[in-house]
Structure 1
Amino acid sequence: MSEFATSAAPRDVVRRQYLASAAGDLEALRATLAPDVEWTEMAGFPLAGTYRTPDGVTSHVMERLGKAWDGWTAHDDTYVVDGENVVVLARYTAANKATGKPIDVRVAHHFVVRGGLIVRFEQFVDTALVRDAMSD
């Protein structure tokens, strides 16, 4: 195994989460999450709410995104790390399955990583752009 694959450094843990998500590897994604993780999707976002446990996060967020969107991807562009806090500037791209409308929207994610696992996540996104793609 490479050093990156086992690194507990907050940036590396978060990067592994993005790579697993992009690959659709929910098992690898769950492996980056603490058993008591708190994952918050922003108010106004279609999946708004706070989800707990690795299985809760993947079933209520990633699996639902996959059902509603073609090619849902979070592209992680810039990392800002301060101790256990990792802020990622990114963008979402996808096409809504019901409307066919695409999105390409900027987003910021705040992660807290402790002991090599993500313990908290909070999303910041222009929810109106996502909702517009979901309506005719």
Structure 2
Amino acid sequence: MTDTDLATSTAPADVVRRQYLASAAGDLDALRATLAPDVEWTEMAGFPLAGTYRTPEGVTSNVMEQLGKEWEGWTAHDDTYVVDGENVVVLARYTAANKATGKAIDVRVAHHFVVRGGLIVRFEQFVDTALVRDAMAH
């Protein structure tokens, strides 16, 4: 598949992949373009940004922009995709260094996306929140 095909494909895994690429590039406009207007984006209880965010702008301002303020080089590495219809589960890991403490993380995560009509309508994060919080503790 060429980059052009990936950019226009509405296949659920391709839409999710575009989201990761946009996030890694810090391109919030491209990231918002992968999200449905009524998206529900849930960060896990115990995670510093825990909660459910709605609308593409709500997701990027409350999640990605906040991570950028508190962490250096926050990256979600999408390693393995498991696809079942509109459900895409990605086994991944986060790497970053906390700006306040200088402590680094390399933590495994699972992300569950639901993709309809070429847009992400739902996201749920599963992560070892204790490892993230440890890196934030002085």
Provide TM-score, normalisation by structure 2: 0.98
- Indicate the residue corresponding to 1:77 in structure 2: 79
Q: Once the two structures are aligned, what percentage of the paired residues are identical?
A: 89
Counterpart check, 1:104 vs 2:98: no
Give 5+ residue unaligned stretches, structure 1.
none
Report the number of matched residues: 136
Report the aligned-residue RMSD.
0.7
1 CA distance for matches of 2:93 and 2:43? Answer: 15
Give 5+ residue unaligned stretches, structure 2.
none
- Indicate the residue corresponding to 1:90 in structure 2: 92
Residues 17-55 of structure 1, C-alpha deviations (whole Å, 9 max, x = no match): 000000000000000000000000000000000000000
Counterpart check, 1:29 vs 2:31: yes
- Give runs of aligned pairs for residues 1-136 of structure 1, distance below 5 A: 2-136=4-138
1 CA distance for matches of 2:47 and 2:129? Answer: 5
Q: Specify the code of the residue in structure 2 equivalent to 1:67.
A: K
Q: In structure 1, the residue corresponding to 2:58 is in which secondary structure?
A: helix
Q: CA deviation at 1:107?
A: 0.1
1 CA distance for matches of 2:6 and 2:61? Answer: 26
Residues 64-118 of structure 1, C-alpha deviations (whole Å, 9 max, x = no match): 0000000000000000000000000000000000000000000000000000000
Give 4+ residue runs of structure 1 displaced > 4 Å after superposition.
Answer: none
Q: In structure 1, the residue corresponding to 2:114 is in which secondary structure?
A: strand
